[in-house]
Amino acid sequence: MTDFQPIIDNITLQAKKQVDKGQVANYIPEISNVDPNKFGISILDEKAQLYSSGDAKEEFSIQSISKVLSLSMAFSIVGENLWKRVGVEPSGDPFNHLSLLEMENGIPRNPLINAGAIVVCDILISNLKNPKSEFLEYVQSIANDPSINYDEKVAKSEKETGFRNYAAAYLIKSFKNLENDVETVLDFYCYSCSIRMSCEQLVKVFYIFMNRGNCLQNNNYLKLPQVKRINAIMLSCGFYDEAGEFAFEVGLPGKSGVGGGIVALLPNKFCVATWSPGLNKKGNSKLGMSALEKLTTETGLSIF
Amino acid sequence: MTDFQPIIDNITLQAKKQVDKGQVANYIPEISNVDPNKFGISILDEKAQLYSSGDAKEEFSIQSISKVLSLSMAFSIVGENLWKRVGVEPSGDPFNHLSLLEMENGIPRNPLINAGAIVVCDILISNLKNPKSEFLEYVQSIANDPSINYDEKVAKSEKETGFRNYAAAYLIKSFKNLENDVETVLDFYCYSCSIRMSCEQLVKVFYIFMNRGNCLQNNNYLKLPQVKRINAIMLSCGFYDEAGEFAFEVGLPGKSGVGGGIVALLPNKFCVATWSPGLNKKGNSKLGMSALEKLTTETGLSIF
Amino acid sequence: MTDFQPIIDNITLQAKKQVDKGQVANYIPEISNVDPNKFGISILDEKAQLYSSGDAKEEFSIQSISKVLSLSMAFSIVGENLWKRVGVEPSGDPFNHLSLLEMENGIPRNPLINAGAIVVCDILISNLKNPKSEFLEYVQSIANDPSINYDEKVAKSEKETGFRNYAAAYLIKSFKNLENDVETVLDFYCYSCSIRMSCEQLVKVFYIFMNRGNCLQNNNYLKLPQVKRINAIMLSCGFYDEAGEFAFEVGLPGKSGVGGGIVALLPNKFCVATWSPGLNKKGNSKLGMSALEKLTTETGLSIF
Amino acid sequence: MTDFQPIIDNITLQAKKQVDKGQVANYIPEISNVDPNKFGISILDEKAQLYSSGDAKEEFSIQSISKVLSLSMAFSIVGENLWKRVGVEPSGDPFNHLSLLEMENGIPRNPLINAGAIVVCDILISNLKNPKSEFLEYVQSIANDPSINYDEKVAKSEKETGFRNYAAAYLIKSFKNLENDVETVLDFYCYSCSIRMSCEQLVKVFYIFMNRGNCLQNNNYLKLPQVKRINAIMLSCGFYDEAGEFAFEVGLPGKSGVGGGIVALLPNKFCVATWSPGLNKKGNSKLGMSALEKLTTETGLSIF
């Protein structure tokens, strides 16, 4: 068993000293106003031992990381039928291109690009009575933490400025791959992305993907083949156009969000979350990416 | 001067006998319910002599033909500034592809594809107090016919089912090439497409493009270079993916609509409108296209 | 009847004074070494009256202009079968993109883009005993001028550096739309593009497209519908990505070449050729384009 | 430690009974003539224990599997400079599309698509005196088996019919990403793909990717970060358009070839090769894919 504490303390120390921290996302005020000097990291290992360093208890907007959670909930409800409506292949394109969507008849390439997550939200709406509250309860329950919540201001800002998401949703709708109306779907989608969590909360939630579908309280949320499927998707699609690079540099399934969060995991070994608001050119947290590289280099822990 | 009457009578006779009349557009009930056996043709020559045959006095939904009229009104208001927001090149793609739009940063290829007409409508909204009534008055005034009107039922059906138009509009908006909000723009766009006219009314309106910008009452609506520009765009972009084919087969600038109407013209010579609701695979009126081919073959009148 | 002499003398005067003459094509030394200050213009009217100004008797490499001539010869041999192997729609893309070719199964969009001209050359090779000499004789015969010839140095340079042409030819071959082997086809293609002519020779050759298929000596080379087809293709496809712009600004069917030549015509009225080696960003002769704009503006002669 | 023998015996038994074995590749006679009933599987574990079943000693054309070997050799020679000439991202497209290559300026998406492997061959040619013999010696030396050889007939057939490879190579050349001439590069490329190996030989060669760069004789061929990089690329790009599916279903880095071979590995645990000539629609061995699925399902061994 690895003692992660000195490793992550050292990573935090270096991160805090780093001058070029990337660019904070500026498309909505609620996210652009975050202090770029924040840096947090948490690790939860297979014995449920938690290690934290830096601003690991501070909440931030998890944004696209929530796509893994909505996927997880939808997958547990509809099972393999999910793949009739969304693919499992890397997009091979920046995260917002509609061209592929059009060429492939409204079937998004995978559930971790915006278009795919919109379809996943549509599935949840069709299968839940109160999508917003039930999804939140699902996340709270996995984390065993009822304090996790949406950020309504972020959700609203996102909805008001998300013209590309509207374009994608209407394009999908034109191909009859959206059952509910676009407004309803995007409203839920924006709420789901607005969830706030800290690094510590994130590793508790993502523990289920590292621990064969079982949470810290040992309740089962997903079957093992479902967990493996989601991990495979995170590895190949979790980092936009940088997926191949990340797969090599870090070698862990994971997901990033424009709020600066990244979560990743080594099956049966550990789950890690980092937070640093500055992004690199591909839209992934700059210091988070390099923190994960250091972690896997120093520990030798990776899937490759 | 050509006596068009026997020619168009013969064309009508042949059209009425034709068994395969193509497929009536079925995307909204108001258009799919039209009698596929209707066929009308009108010609207005440079001496203002009107020739008509078949159902030339019957009104139908002009649909995309109205794109030339909104373009004409916007062009007369904002002049060359128009081309900062929309191109003049053929789209080289079926009429509903968003890919090009995305690759070209939200600048539609030309004003006669849906995306381009949506931008033109946005320009009109920004420049008119009451866009709907002022645009209708503009058309009525050119035709000197106050009976021309919108079909509200068609406009509403179109708006409710036009998911691709929403997708295009939001994509354009995401590139900041839409000043007004999408709902407002698409509402006006759908109204403009819902205008009903007969073949006789159509040739009266399009007479300005054949007659150097002057209408039958000799009022001037467009400068000569503007007329030439619009004619050039109609020739190269007026028939979706069939533009090249039409340019050859017919050799006249023109525009078709999914309601089965086609209007075309030879500068300084004549203006012609046909109506037959059945469409070919490219979305242009099947009998209308062949009527125009016969007309130019028999008269030898074309630009080439 | 128009007296073109003072008009073209004035155009030449202005062209010679112009400071920014565009950029001479630099991909092969034989073309990049041409004096950028050259400017010539010739007009041949429907009465066979020839007007010339500037360097109108000086030969230059006609390059892509020859695509119209190979098309014309192949069309006269195989007739409408030609259109099974190449389309008639504008490419909607810069002249060297292979993407469309791939999406459309090796059928080039039209015969005036490189890929299309390569297919046309393949057809000529399959139908001629000695393609190079017979094609040259065809051109000489139309012009009634046996001095017209290939420039072997240009042909060889072009073949050696034309990697994109090879890529296009092999892609077409992979779709089984090339009967002969790639080396043979490209060899003939490069020869055909290397033909040298002066403005005066060019208008004599292109006179057949303005004069219903008949040359100055009144021999017939093409049927009228074939001439109309070729003119339609020149109008919509003759100027690469600038076709729509040219159709408006000039309003004449025509074709440009990277050697700085442009030829254009108004059916039954006149044929014009210009030469100025500097190109604009779209690859068309900068001063040639503006000369043609002036000509049609001043004379009011255009198809629109 | 797992006893793989009963597992692979059972897999072979089921494979031999399978009626639908997919379609043998038919583009060259040398490959299409292979008996579709062949099935072999070999496993080499971390203790160098070899397990075999079925036709595991029979040689077949490894085809695209050799791309991993040429990549490995080039990477060991030029190191990280390799990534200036070829990417590491999944292609997100079927294996033969040139469009992406054109949009990305001749930099192939990754070294396991044809275009990428062609660039890798170009690098080897620039760095080796006798590319063909030195590459073969490299492979023989890893396997400690001098009997491994090229199949010249296959290489020649492939070269003569590989028009798309020529198209890709010339397109890359046009972007100046090919140092040597196309004929030389494709000659070497086709030879490299023509190597014949049995399943037993394949696992011996790919043992280095499972064993941190060291072969069975404990000689080192690659540094650990290089091995991890290659494994990451195999996972995300090794199975054409089916990479995402394979990553989930099997969860192992690997590579397939149209000869019907597949090789895959779990770092530090085992290396497996299968051979069954029939392919599924995506071009991967049908029975090979399902054999690997069964193997990982029954043993629970995968990276996820």
The reply to whether A32 falls in a domain is: yes
8-state DSSP, B219: -
Question: Residue B243 pLDDT more than 80?
Answer: no
Q: Is D67 part of the annotated catalytic residue set? A: yes
Nearest CB among C98, C163, C166 relative to D98 is that of C98
Separation CA A213–CA A226 (nearest Å): 8
Is D51 a residue of the active site? no
Quote the domain boundaries for residue D49: 5-63+196-299
Of residues C194 and D299, more confidence is placed in: C194
Per CB-CB distance under 8 Å, the chain D contacts of C182 are 163, 166
- Report the CATH number that the domain containing residue D153 is assigned in CATH: 3.40.710.10
Task: Verify whether the Cβ–Cβ distance B235 to C236 is below 8 Å.
Answer: yes
Phi, psi of A44 (to 5 degrees): -125, 120
One domain, residues B132 and B216: no
Whole-number CA gyration radius for chain A: 18
- Asked whether the predicted pLDDT for residue B262 surpasses 70, the reply is yes
CB contact under 8 A, B103 and A98: no
Distance from CA of C72 to the nearest CA of D (A): 28
What's the pLDDT score for residue A92? 60
Looking at the domain assignment, is residue B217 inside a domain? Answer: yes
| Together in a domain, C212 and C285 | yes
Asked whether residue B200 carries a pLDDT value surpassing 80, the answer given is: yes
Note whether D215 and D281 are same-domain residues.
Answer: yes
Element (H, E) at B90: none
Per-residue pLDDT for D93 more than 70? Answer: no
CA-to-CA dists, residue C219 to C70, C191, C211, D185, angstroms: 18, 26, 11, 51
Chain D residues in contact with A244 (beta carbon < 8 A): 87-90, 110, 232-233, 236-237
- Same structural domain for residues D207 and D152? no
Which pLDDT score, from 0 to 100, does residue D115 have? 94
C304 located within any domain: no
Domain identity same for A285 and A165: no
Residue in D90, D232, D247 nearest the CB of A248: D232
Q: Tell me how many domains chain C contains.
A: 2
If asked whether residues A81 and A142 sit together in one domain, one would say yes
What tens digit of pLDDT does each residue of B125-160 get? 999 999 999 999 999 999 999 999 999 999 999 999
| Residue range B79-99, pLDDT digits in tens | 999 999 999 887 765 545 777
Q: What is the pLDDT of residues D31-79, one digit of tens each?
A: 899 999 999 999 999 999 999 999 999 999 999 999 999 999 999 999 9
Interface size between A and D, measured as CB pairs under 8 A:
93
Q: Same domain for D187 and D266? A: no
Question: Does residue A202 carry a pLDDT above 70?
Answer: yes
- Which token pair is D146? 């001098």
Residues D242-252: tens digit of each pLDDT = 777 777 778 89
The reported pLDDT for the residue numbered B93 is 57
Check whether residue D94 and residue D174 sit in a common domain: yes
Which residue among the candidates D52, D61, D64, D285 is catalytic per the annotation? D64
Check the CA dihedral A241-A244-A245-A246 and report its sign. Answer: positive
Task: Give me the pLDDT at residue A95, please.
Answer: 44
Q: Return the pLDDT at C2.
A: 86
Q: Which of A243, A244, A304 sits opposite D231 (nearest CB)?
A: A304
Asked if residue C269 and residue C187 are part of one domain, the reply reads: no
Q: Mean pLDDT in chain B?
A: 93
In a domain, residue C72? The reply is yes
Mutation target for B interface from A91, A93, A95, A98: give the one with most B CBs within 10 A. Answer: A98
pLDDT for residue D96 is more than 60:
no
Residue D304 falls inside a structural domain? no
Measured CB to CB, residues of chain D less than 8 Å from chain C are: 97-99, 102-103, 163-164, 166-171, 173-174, 182
| Residue D120 near residue D69, CB atoms below 8 Å | no
Closest residue in A to D304 (Cα–Cα): A228
Mean pLDDT of chain D: 93
Residues in C touching D171 (Cβ below 8 Å): 98, 163-164, 167
Domain C-terminal end among D132, D164, D193: D193
- pLDDT digits over D164-218, tens only? 999 999 999 999 999 999 999 999 999 999 999 999 999 999 999 999 999 999 9
Chain C residues interacting with chain B (CB cutoff of 8 angstroms): 87-93, 100, 109-110, 227-229, 231-233, 235-237, 241, 243-245, 247-248, 251, 253, 267, 302-304
Q: Do C171 and D182 touch (CB under 8 A)?
A: no
Identify all chain B residues contacting A174, using CB atoms and an 8 Å cutoff.
163-164, 167
Identify which of A92, A243, A248 has the shortest CB distance to residue D93. Answer: A92
In a domain, A304, yes or no: no
Cβ–Cβ of A228/D244 closer than 8 Å? no
- Domain annotation covers residue A98: yes
How many CB contacts within 8 angstroms connect chain C with chain D?
A: 55
Which of B87, B228, B243 is nearest residue C251 as measured by Cβ atoms?
Answer: B228
Which ranges of chain A does DSSP label H, i.e. alpha helix?
5-17, 29-32, 66-78, 99-103, 114-127, 131-143, 152-161, 163-174, 182-193, 199-210, 224-237, 243-249, 286-299
The domain boundary residue, chosen from A193, A218, A248: A193
Neighbours of chain B (3+ CB pairs under 8 A): A, C
Partners for A (CB, 8 Å, 3+ pairs)? B, D
Residue D62's alpha-carbon distances to D26, D95, D136, D199, D236, in angstroms, are: 15, 17, 13, 10, 20
Q: Residue D94: is its pLDDT beyond 70?
A: no
pLDDT score at D95: 44
d(CA A197, CA D224): 36
The residue assigned the tokens 């941190």 is D212
Question: A96: pLDDT confidence band, cut at 50, 70 and 90?
Answer: low
Task: Tell me which chain B residues have a C-beta less than 8 angstroms from the C-beta of C227.
Answer: 304
pLDDT digits (tens, 9 = 90+) for A34-88: 999 999 999 999 999 999 999 999 999 999 999 999 999 999 999 999 999 999 8
Of the partner residues D98, D102, D174, the one whose CB lies closest to the CB of residue C163: D174
**Catalytic: B67?**
yes
Tell me the pLDDT band of B49, cut-offs 50, 70 and 90. Answer: very high
Instruction: Kindly state whether residues B46 and B155 are assigned to the same domain.
Output: no
Kindly state whether residue D94 falls inside one of the protein's structural domains: yes
Asked if residue A124 and residue A185 are part of one domain, the reply reads yes
State whether D51 and D93 are in the same domain.
no
For chain C, give the percent of residues with pLDDT over 90. Answer: 78
Q: What mean pLDDT do residues B44-54 have?
A: 96
Residues of chain C with pLDDT under 50: 95
pLDDT the model gives residue B101 = 83
**D170 is written with which tokens?**
């010339």
Residue B78 above 70 pLDDT? yes
Domain boundary residue, one of A193, A226, A259: A193
Is there a contact between D167 and C163 if contact means CB atoms under 8 Å apart? no
The three state secondary structure string of D128-154 is CCCHHHHHHHHHHHHHCCCCCECCHHH
At residue A94 the predicted structure's pLDDT band, cuts being 50, 70 and 90, is: low
Q: What residues in A contact B168, CB-CB < 8 Å? A: 167
| Chains interfacing with D (3 or more CB pairs < 8 Å) | A, C
User: What is the reported pLDDT for B184?
Assistant: 98
